[in-house]
Amino acid sequence: MEKYYKLRSLAVLFIAVLMIAGLSQDVGAAKDNILRIAFDSGDTKSMDPGRSFGTQDMALQDMIFNGLLRYKPGDISVIETDLAERYEVSGDGMAMTFYLRKGVMSHPFKGYPDGIELTTEDIAYNIKKNQDPKTSTYSSTYMNFEAEIIDKYTIKIKLKERMVQPELFFTDYRGGFVILKKAFETIGALRHNTSPVGTGPFKVDKYIPGQKVILKAHDKYFRGKPKLDAVEALFMPDINAREFALRKGEIDVMEGMREQPWIEKMKKVSIVEIFGPGEINHLNFNVSRKPFDNKKVRQALMYATSRDELLTFVGADAADPMCSIIPPFMKGGLSCDDIAKKGLLYKHDIEKAKKLLAEAGYPNGFDVEETITERLSYRRSMENIQAQWKKVGVNIKLNVVDHATYHTKIRQDVNPFTMYICMRPNADIFLSWFFHSDAIVVSGKRPVTNFSHYTLVDDLIIKARNETDSAKQEEIWRQIQTKLLEDGINYPMYVLKFVFARNDRIDWGFEQKAVLALYTQINEQTSLKK
């Protein structure tokens, strides 16, 4: 019986300890000079610029690395120099010369407590690394470059084939981020994934897998010492946890939900930042697959889709309508008004859709199986389309897979139509990756993302790429888009903007208008109010 009383008192003690532990804590994080940002992701895949594609990866790289050039912080419409002091493009557009800034020091690393100076040798090494499929995800693009070191601070980069805006591949974006040869070789590729060495305003201090990366200010940053002491990047794939954490002041800024109700809710308790340019959500019909080989079926489904309804779902704040694959703010883009003038708007019209289906031999519609990712931005829209098409008798059976599997599957050509959300730097890349026959998934010469198996604009794409007169070039790009819509190949729905919520302590140091890589940038100007 003694034992029993002992047990009971132990239980009471246990609860008491928990309670006291609970009450003695002050809620919320300490008000230190550390910015805490939470990403919609379970972890970073890699902080190596050659090996990344998640938003969280690029947001981290943006703090750690620099490019030769950069998009002006918070504004992609302006390209300015970064590591390069200045640069020249040759008259024929087939070579670029970069002149490096002198005295750019890297983060300290093993054996080099003061870091090392960046030279053109590093730039050349970067290009080589980016060309190797073993070390880079972007090898097919960088294959086109060849580096020639002139001196320690001057490097000439030649193109093998003509390219539209080749300098874009040397900006602070993906493969454009510069790593240091010596550091990469010293610490090894593997460790470089999680403790990379760059020249940016922040250096990786500690990486805790599945939890966070702690970045400390890089005192010798060439633009000056950052105002923040450190940045903690937390991986919190659960929107709820992020939201709670923000409300309780445990974090300062979080990746939000790209949806109107959430935005409105959060506007009441925090500052919501919505910025572009965003990603284009579009459907690509697979013309090699029955019944989508029938133009009337494709057009019918375009009529059956209400862009307005899709937009209402996402919400006015988070999305803008898109009527053509190249957005109007990009060279060669078309606005909805332009499309309307051409009469290619495919304005929602169920009767017309039914009529077209009947003409095509499907008066009662048909059933179709479709694979979709579980990622909400895709799934939400796909489920809405599922509900819309049901009204014309087209039943979509959805197989939901995780996002990585989705990318595998769509490249195996499983889908009769494919939803894709992305941004590309220019019209040439958009068009050639999605509609050039070389890029056809599985069977193409260099398979990329031509899910529609469309082959009829190859000539036009090449013609535009080789056109040196930029007005004529844009005209050809517009011509391609018109043809795509006429043939009912691609149905652009909307541009999905980026949503972050934050507290009022943050002063970014610049205005976040449009960021290409889809995250709130944090740099040396960023500070926290006390």
Partner 1 sequence: MIKYSIRRILLTIPLLLVVLSMVFVFVRLAPGDPAMAMLGQYATQEGLDALRKQMGLDAPMWLQYLRFLGDLLRGDLGVSMLNGVPVVDQLRVVLPYTLELTVSAMVLGVLLGVPMGVYTALRRNRSADYSGRVVSLVGISIPSFFLGILLLYVFSVRMDLFPVLGAGRDGDLGDRLYHLVLPTLSLGLIMTSYIMRMTRSSMLNVLNEDFVRTAKSKGLQERIVVYKHAFMNALIPVVSVLGIYFIINLGSSIMTEIVFSRPGLGKLMVLAMKQRDYVVLQSVMVIYATLAIFINLFVDLIYGLIDPRIKYG
Partner 2 sequence: MLNDLRRKQLRVFLRNRIAVVGFFLTLLLILIAFFAGYVAPYDPNEQNVYSRLTSPDLKHWFGTDSYGRDTLSRVIHGSRISLAVGVCSIIFGMVIGSLAGMFAAFDRGKIGNLIMRAVDVMMCFPAEIFAILFLVMIGQGMDKLIFAIGVVMAPRFARLSYGTTLSIREREYIEAARALGAKRPRIVLKHIFPNILGEILVMCSLWTATAIRVEANLSFLGMGVPPPTATWGNMVRTGVSQLTNAPWLSIFPGLAIMVAVLAFNLIGDGLRDVMDPKLQQG
DSSP percent split of the chain into helix, strand, coil, nearest 5: 35, 25, 40
The torsion angle over the Cα atoms of residues 87, 92, 94 and 99, rounded to 10 degrees, is: -10
Does 232 interact with partner 2 (rule: CB under 8 A)?
no
Please give the backbone phi and psi of residue 316, each rounded to the nearest 5 degrees, phi first.
Answer: -65, -35
Nearer to partner 1, 43 or 320 (CB): 43
Of 37, 40, 49, 52, the residue at the interface with partner 1 (CB under 8 A) is: 52
Of 89, 149, 159, 241, the residue at the interface with partner 1 (CB under 8 A) is: 241
Which among partner 1, partner 2, none contacts residue 54 (Cβ within 5 to 8 A by kind)? partner 1
Does 261 interact with partner 2 (rule: CB under 8 A)?
yes
Which among partner 2, partner 1, none contacts residue 469 (Cβ within 5 to 8 A by kind)? none
Does 239 interact with partner 2 (rule: CB under 8 A)?
yes
Angle at 100 between CA 96 and CA 101, to 5 degrees: 150
- Gap between the terminal Cα atoms of the chain: 58
| Cβ 327 vs Cβ 333: under 8 Å | yes
Q: Per-residue contact track with partner 1, 372 to 411, x per CB under 8 A? A: -----------------------------xxxxx-xx--x
The DSSP H or E segment spanning 234 is: strand 230-235
Of 308, 422, 470, 507, the residue at the interface with partner 1 (CB under 8 A) is: 422
CA distance linking residue 386 with residue 89, whole number of Å: 49
Does 238 interact with partner 2 (rule: CB under 8 A)?
yes
How buried is residue 458: exposed, middle or buried, by Cβ count under 10 Å (0-12/13-18/19+)? middle
How buried is residue 11: exposed, middle or buried, by Cβ count under 10 Å (0-12/13-18/19+)? exposed
Which among partner 1, partner 2, none contacts residue 393 (Cβ within 5 to 8 A by kind)? none
| Cβ 98 vs Cβ 154: under 8 Å | yes
Q: CB of 373: closest distance to partner 1 in angstroms?
A: 11
The DSSP H or E segment spanning 89 is: strand 84-89
Nearer to partner 2, 89 or 401 (CB): 401
Nearer to partner 2, 241 or 358 (CB): 241
Binders in 210-229 for partner 1, by CB under 8 A? 210-211
Does 380 interact with partner 2 (rule: CB under 8 A)?
yes
Of 125, 207, 221, 292, the residue at the interface with partner 1 (CB under 8 A) is: 207
Which among partner 2, partner 1, none contacts residue 312 (Cβ within 5 to 8 A by kind)? partner 2
Does 254 interact with partner 2 (rule: CB under 8 A)?
no
Does 18 interact with partner 1 (rule: CB under 8 A)?
yes
Nearer to partner 2, 207 or 389 (CB): 389
Secondary structure of 453-519 in the HEC alphabet? CCCCCHHHHHHHHHCCCHHHHHHHHHHHHHHHHHCCCEEEEEEEEEEEEECCCEECCCCCCECCCCC
Binders in 300-319 for partner 2, by CB under 8 A? 309, 312-313
Does 184 interact with partner 1 (rule: CB under 8 A)?
no
Does 7 interact with partner 1 (rule: CB under 8 A)?
yes
> What residue has token string 């918070």?
74
Of 71, 109, 138, 500, the residue at the interface with partner 1 (CB under 8 A) is: 138
> What residue has token string 């495919």?
346
- 308: which 2 tokens? 């307005």
Nearer to partner 2, 313 or 366 (CB): 313
Which range touches partner 1 (CB under 8 A), out of 148-156, 178-186, 230-238, 261-269?
Answer: 230-238
Which range touches partner 2 (CB under 8 A), out of 1-9, 137-145, 400-408, 470-478?
Answer: 400-408
Nearer to partner 1, 248 or 391 (CB): 248
- 441: which 2 tokens? 């998934």
Tell me 26's DSSP state: P
CA distance linking residue 281 with residue 268, whole number of Å: 28
How buried is residue 18: exposed, middle or buried, by Cβ count under 10 Å (0-12/13-18/19+)? exposed
Of 387, 403, 422, 442, the residue at the interface with partner 2 (CB under 8 A) is: 387
Nearer to partner 1, 28 or 103 (CB): 28
For residue 231, the SS3 value is strand
Nearer to partner 1, 256 or 365 (CB): 256
Q: Is the dihedral of CA 426, 512, 381, 328 positive or negative?
A: negative
CA distance linking residue 479 with residue 495, whole number of Å: 21
Q: CB of 160: closest distance to partner 1 in angstroms?
A: 17
- How far is C-alpha 503 from the geometric centre of its chain's CA atoms? 24
Q: CB of 376: closest distance to partner 2 in angstroms?
A: 8
CA distance linking residue 451 with residue 415, whole number of Å: 8
Does 449 interact with partner 1 (rule: CB under 8 A)?
yes
Which among partner 1, partner 2, none contacts residue 7 (Cβ within 5 to 8 A by kind)? partner 1
* Binding interface with partner 2 (CB under 8 A): 238-240, 243-244, 247, 257, 259, 261-262, 265, 309, 312-313, 374, 379-380, 383-384, 386-387, 398-402
- Residue numbers of the site for partner 1 (CB under 8 A)? 1-4, 7-8, 10-11, 14, 17-18, 21-22, 24-25, 27, 42-46, 51-54, 133-134, 136-140, 174, 189-191, 193-194, 207-211, 236-238, 241, 244-245, 248, 250-251, 401-405, 407-408, 411, 422, 446-449
